[in-house]
Chain A
Amino acid sequence: MSAARPARGARYDCIVVGGGHNGLTCAAYLARAGRSVLVLEAADRVGGAAVTREFAPGFRVSACAHLLHLMPGKLIAELNLSAHGLKLAAAQLPTTALSADDAHLPLGPEGAAVLAAQSAHDAAAYPAYGARLARLAARLRPILGATPPRLGTAGWRDRAALLGLGLRLRALGRRDMRELLRIGPMCVQDLLDEHFESPLLKGALGFDAVLGTNYGPRSPGTVFTLLYRLAAAGEEGGGLAQPLGGLGALSEALAGAARAAGAQVRTGAVVKRILVRDDRAAGVVLASGEELAAGAVVSSADPKTTFLGLLGAEHLDAGFVRRIVHLRARGLAAKLHLALDAAPRFAGLDPAALRGRLLWAPSPEHIERAFNHAKYGEFSASPILEITVPTVSDPALAPAGAHVLSVVAQYAPFALAGGWAEGRRRFTELLIDTLTALAPGLRAQVRHAELLSPEDLEREFRITGGHWHHAELALDQFFMLRPVPGVAQYRAPVGGLYLCGAGCHPGGGVMGLAGRNAAREVVREAA
């Protein structure tokens, strides 16, 4: 170690690397447990990928995540986020499946009549399908807030956790448990084909199974990703919500909660390296050269950044490094932001639907074809889209009368053949064309467009591979296997180092449970 000068100033119990929603959540819980906590965020504002920022003069947008639906109500209540400024611009947002022939289908009970008109069979099958998936998801939900057990240990906590897991699944009853074991590893298209005939319904239901993943609906394991999403969606009926002021307002509230509990939050502080002394994390070194000492370092950065970038392979075993290198973490989702002169006019769409989520995935086949391109390093010729118009519920995000369109577009491979420098413009044009086909006249309304490819997401949000889950969410990278076996309990092989980001169980999406679970483990270890 080169001429390490003694750290000046205080030594913190915990330094949290990264002020995204998981880092802030973790910091808030650690501070509430009486720890002295310092959060170091590289960007000029907190939030990480849950951030609101300007993308065109006068237009602001939730730059990566754009909806709030996964963060448990319990967490929001525990941290008292409403007292720290969290207000919802809209809740219980509807989801509408857009159709090329304007026969748009609202999902859920509100769309029952429309669905019945399209397919009596599907209308009859939908409630039972939804109820069964909801039952299975409800059984999986407690897993998300639990620390995954270690296998092959004699520890009572691990055994109790495994036993609890078994009992929980057993409590599903014979039929549901068998169904869970049957469908979990399946591809979502097979499941949908078993139940439904409407391409539009199947496309919309399949969309959520592949959103933010490296999968098409015919990829094995996509029923699992769907169940995961359903399990993660809030217990109070899983409403989609939009924070007033965008997702950045949530992050500000989390930072407020952390500060109120005594944590310090520093922005513009780029962590360069995690300091190791005697095989224990001892603090961090900032890009400025400043050294900060801590009893524990908790990293919300993705596992590759944490282990290979900040810690360094020399402090780790070779087999572990190999597993981290092979962690699948390449994003396939791009984000499009459009500044519009006026509200977009989607042909045949009930204006009330515009406040919610619009899906463009007219059939599972359409999604699979879109995915085919990505397999070979191309972006989709006919992409699938999750469209929101946040300015409908939160007009302050844009100048008066103007609107913002915030779109998740798939598939856009991180390693685009030919590179994104050249591909960005072509994909932007393709997306605007696709949107204009659905909302005639939209192209003429566009005052400004910003596309964030996974490469841009990597750069702006410091996520290796630009994957918003930090690591692909898949059966082989879930629970006890997330991010890799050996560190699924948030503890790194180096003493005093912890993970609390989306790369750990239960994964990403603006959920906060990884941060909450990690804080519990940090406190437990020190106790």
Chain B
Amino acid sequence: MATTSEPHYRRPLLPTPFHARARALAQSDAFIPWAGYTTVDVFTTAEQEYFAIRNAASVYDLTPMVKYRIAGADALRFLNRLLTRDIGKLRPGRVAYGVWCNDAGHLIDDGTVFCLGAGEYRLCTAERQLDWLLDSAIGFDVAISEVTEEVAALALQGPTSYSVLRKAGVAGVERLKPFELGNFTVPAAGDAPLMVSRTGFTGDLGYELWMQPKDAAAVWDVLMEAGRTRGIRAIGSRALNIARIEAGFVLPNVDFIPSERTVFIGTERSPLELGLAWLVDFGKGHFTGRRALLEEQRRGSRRRLVGLDIEGTKPAHNALLYSDRALRRQAGSVTSAAWSPTTKRNLALAMVDAPHFSTGSTLWAEIYLNRELVWERRVVRARVVERPFFAPERRRVTPPAEF
């Protein structure tokens, strides 16, 4: 751990409040940087951790998620001008997924908005962007501050996640419907206050737990003890990535580059291109990028992110896509790929050129395989299919089933 006398540049990545616990379990010692923190990529093996998400319960340290407190008389007006979605419909105690754009209608980031009360919100994002938020706040009576370090967070996801919370003594969680949040306490952790939202990045039954950093280690211990007989396991980012591809969620810097970071012209992406048109509400009044997106809607998008079901079992990482088997006409490329253990399908998210984005379209993927340094090329059929690829009913059932 960094000592206070040590200059920050000697240890530029911060430990999260769960770091000591994670370090003790990180058998493969695979840590990766995330938004200024050091976090675990893989504890044991990604496969083992993945199955905890789908068959038991998984604990993932979310603390590096950038969090902003947004409050004030104009907080709602501010958010409605920032996000493409109508936040006016978001009641206190609810969470909404949303995206926001620059003037050109290009995606800056996605995130979740938590309505904590009248005129008070929390925005959780992948990227730091206080400058954009402050620019967006010009002309609005709203106070914005980053609270990332003030809030420790865990994602507790998987079919037994509800049972784990119950066993941990967090009373009342059963009433939370998807995208609802509530305030609870953890009796076994000295009555530590715990905000619980029924949200997540796995497309499964699961919760996100928000707490004070001082309670973090105690809450972790209570969860691990409560989940001991329910298959609980700490997971890293690699296992989560398989689950989020199955759920069909996009990831900044993987499926799109935040527009404020792109260098080359034409590499920005709009929400319409990312298949997020359902998040764009043209009828709610003005928001940044609205006029550009209306124009894009009028002209028709030139490309779209789609789900692909690919022949064979080899993940199509970075594969180029063609409209013909002879690979003469390129029609896009894969942005995320994984073999899905649960659906037993070879899945991918891909940015595909018009007109190939309708469900059922067939493309050809050029996959390069490294077989012990002998490279092979496979040309396989890739079908455009609906997302999400995996959406178990249990993610929605309220109260959730006990295991």
**Nearest Cβ in chain A — how far from B259, in angstroms?**
10
Contacts of A444 in B (CB 8 A): none
A279 touches B291 (CB 8 A): yes
**Cross-chain contact B102 with A319 (CB below 8 angstroms):** yes
Q: Which of A314, A315, A319, A325 contacts B103 (CB 8 A)?
A: A319
A318 touches B291 (CB 8 A): no
Interface membership of chain A positions 472-499, coded 1 if the CB is closer than 8 angstroms to chain B and 0 otherwise? 0000000000000010000001000000
- Residue B82, interface by CB 8 Å: yes
Interface centre among A312, A316, A319 (most CB of B within 10 A): A319
Chain B residues in 8 Å Cβ range of A101: none
Contact B139–A308 (Cβ < 8 Å): yes
Q: Is B97 an interface residue (CB 8 A)?
A: no
B198 interfacial contact with A, CB 8 Å: no
The proximity string for A residues 343-375 relative to B, scoring 1 for CB distances below 8 Å and 0 otherwise, is 000000000000000000000000000000000
Residue A313 CB within 8 A of the other chain: yes
A89 to B345, CA, bound (A): 89
Interface segment among B43-51, B130-138, B168-176, B243-251: the answer is B130-138
A493 touches B291 (CB 8 A): yes
Contact across chains for B135 and A319 when beta carbons are under 8 A apart: yes
Residues from chain A with a CB closer than 8 A to the CB of B206 are none
Query: Interface code A290-318, partner B: CB below 8 Å = 1, 0 otherwise?
Result: 00000000000000000010001111111
Q: Contact between A318 and B140 (Cβ–Cβ < 8 Å)? A: no
Residue B286 at the A interface, CB < 8 A? yes
Across the two chains, which residue of chain B brings its CB closest to A279?
B286
Q: Which of A279, A308, A318, A325 contacts B288 (CB 8 A)?
A: A318
Chain A residue contacts of B285, Cβ below 8 A:
314
Given contact pairs A279-B291, A313-B138, A325-B138, A318 touches B132 in the complex (Cβ within 8 A): yes
Q: Cβ of A320 < 8 Å from any Cβ of B? A: yes
In angstroms, Cα B140 to Cα A320, docked, is: 15
**A316 partner, pick from B82, B102, B132, B286, beta carbons under 8 A:** B286
Q: Quick check: is A321 within 8 A (CB to CB) of the other chain?
A: yes
Is A317 touching B132 in the complex (CB atoms < 8 A)? Answer: no
Contact at B82–A318, with CB atoms within 8 Å? yes
Known: A319-B103, A493-B291. Contact between A314 and B135, CB under 8 A? no
Given contacts A279-B286, A279-B291, contact A317 B103 (CB under 8 A): yes
CB neighbours of A486 from chain B (8 A): 103
Kindly state whether residue B23 has any CB partner on chain A within 8 Å. Answer: no
| Bound: A320/B291 CA distance, A | 12
For residue B258, CB closer than 8 A to chain A, the reply is no
* Cα–Cα distance between A486 and B292 once the two chains are bound (Å): 13
Interface flag for B81 (CB, 8 Å): yes
Q: Choose from B139, B289, B290 the contact partner of A312 (Cβ within 8 Å).
A: B139
- Contact status B138-A322, CB under 8 Å: yes
B394 touches A (CB below 8 Å): no
Count, chain A residues at interface, CB 8 A: 16
Q: Which residue of B lies closest to A493 (CB)?
A: B291
Q: How far is the CA of A132 from the CA of B135 in the complex (A)?
A: 45
**Which residues from chain A contact B128 at a C-beta distance below 8 Å?**
none
Query: Which chain A residue shows the least CB distance to B287?
Result: A317
What A residues does B135 contact at CB under 8 A?
318-319, 321-322
Q: Mark B168-204, 1 if CB is under 8 A from A, else 0.
A: 0000000000000000000000000000000000000
Q: Which of B277-293 contact A (CB under 8 A)?
A: 285-286, 288-291
Q: Is the CB of B139 within 8 A of A320?
A: no
Nearest chain A residue, comparing its CB with the CB of B282: A279
> Quick one: closest A residue to B139, CB to CB?
A313
- Chain B residues within an 8 Å CB radius of A317: 102-103, 288-291
Distance, CA A314 to CA B77, complexed state (A): 8
Residues of chain A within 8 A of B289, CB atoms compared: 317
Give chain B residues whose Cβ lies under 8 Å from the Cβ of A279: 286, 290-291
User: Separation in Å of the A193 CB from the closest CB of chain B?
Assistant: 41
A314/B139 contact (C-beta < 8 A), A279-B286, A319-B103, A320-B103 known: yes
Q: CA of A272 to CA of B400 in the docked complex: distance in angstroms?
A: 55
Chain A residues whose CB sits within 8 angstroms of the CB of B138 once the complex forms: 308, 313, 318, 321-322, 325
Give the Cβ gap from A313 to chain B, nearest Cβ, in Å.
Answer: 3
Complex Cα–Cα for A325 and B139 (A): 10
How many chain B residues have a CB neighbour from A under 8 Å? 17
A502 to nearest B CB, angstroms? 23
A319–B102 Cα distance when bound, in Å, is 7
Chain A residues within 8 Å of B103, by CB = 317-320, 486
Q: How far is the CA of A172 from the CA of B138 in the complex (A)?
A: 45
User: Which of A319, A321, A493 has a CB less than 8 Å from the CB of B139?
Assistant: A321
State how many angstroms separate the Cβ of B334 from the closest Cβ of chain A: 31
Q: Considering only CB atoms, which chain B residue lies closest to A152 in the complex?
A: B265
How far is the CB of B108 from the nearest CB of chain A, in Å? 10
- State how many angstroms separate the Cβ of B107 from the closest Cβ of chain A: 14
Given contacts A319-B135, A321-B135, contact A314 B140 (CB under 8 A): yes
A318 to B102 CA separation, bound complex (whole angstroms): 7
In residues 290-323 of chain B, which contact A (Cβ within 8 Å)?
290-291
CA distance A312 to B140 in the complex (A): 9
A window 25-73: CB within 8 A of B: none
Find chain B residues with CB under 8 A from A322 CB.
Answer: 135, 138
Once A314-B77, A325-B138 are accepted as A-B contacts, the answer to whether A319 and B286 lie under 8 Å apart by CB is: no
Contact A314 B291 (CB under 8 A): no
Bound complex: CA A285 to CA B140 (Å): 20
A40 and B290 CA atoms in complex are apart in Å by: 31
Given A279-B291, A320-B103, A493-B291, A315 and B136 touching (CB < 8 A)? no
- Please indicate the chain B residues that have their CB under 8 angstroms from the CB of A316 in the complex: 286
Query: A314 and B81 in contact (CB under 8 A), knowing A319-B103, A322-B135, A322-B138?
Result: yes
B81 closest partner in A (C-beta): A314
Q: How far apart sit A314 and B291, CA to CA, in the bound complex (Å)?
A: 13
Task: Tell me whether A318 and B286 are in contact (CB under 8 A).
Answer: no
**Chain B CB within 10 Å — which of A317, A319, A486 has the most?**
A317
A276 CA to B342 CA, complexed, in Å: 52
Whole-angstrom distance between the alpha carbons of A313 and B103 in the complex?
13
CA distance A319 to B160 in the complex (A): 45
Assembled-state Cα–Cα distance A279/B138 (Å): 20
Q: Taking the nearest CB of chain A, how far is it from the CB of B272, in angstroms? A: 17
Assembly CA distance A317 to B84 (angstroms): 12
For B290, the chain A residues whose CB sits under 8 A away are 279, 317
Chain A neighbourhood of B291, CB < 8 A: 279, 317, 493
- What is the distance, in angstroms, from B133's C-beta to the closest C-beta of chain A? 9
A319 to B104, CA, bound (A): 9
A517 and B139 CA atoms in complex are apart in Å by 30
Contacts of A319 in B (CB 8 A): 102-103, 135, 288
| A315 and B286 form a contact (CB under 8 A) | yes
Measured in the bound complex, the distance between the Cα atoms of B136 and A312 in whole Å is: 12
Nearest chain-A residue to B286 (Cβ)? Answer: A315
- Within the assembled complex, what's the spacing in Å between the Cα atoms of A486 and B102? 14
In the bound complex, do residue A314 and residue B288 qualify as a contact, i.e. CB atoms below 8 Å apart?
A: no
Q: Please, how many angstroms separate the alpha-carbon atoms of A358 and B285 in the complex?
A: 55
Shortest CB-to-CB span from A322 to chain B, Å, is 4
The 6 closest A-B pairs by CB, nearest first: A313-B139, A317-B103, A318-B136, A319-B103, A317-B288, A322-B135
Q: List 10 A-B contacts (CB under 8 A).
A: A314-B81, A314-B286, A315-B286, A318-B132, A318-B138, A321-B135, A321-B138, A321-B139, A322-B138, A325-B138
A residues bordering B, Cβ < 8 Å?
A: 279, 308, 312-322, 325, 486, 493
Q: A318-B103, A325-B138 are in contact. List 15 more A-B contacts (CB 8 A).
A: A308-B139, A314-B77, A314-B139, A314-B140, A314-B286, A317-B290, A317-B291, A318-B82, A318-B136, A318-B138, A319-B103, A321-B135, A321-B136, A321-B139, A486-B103
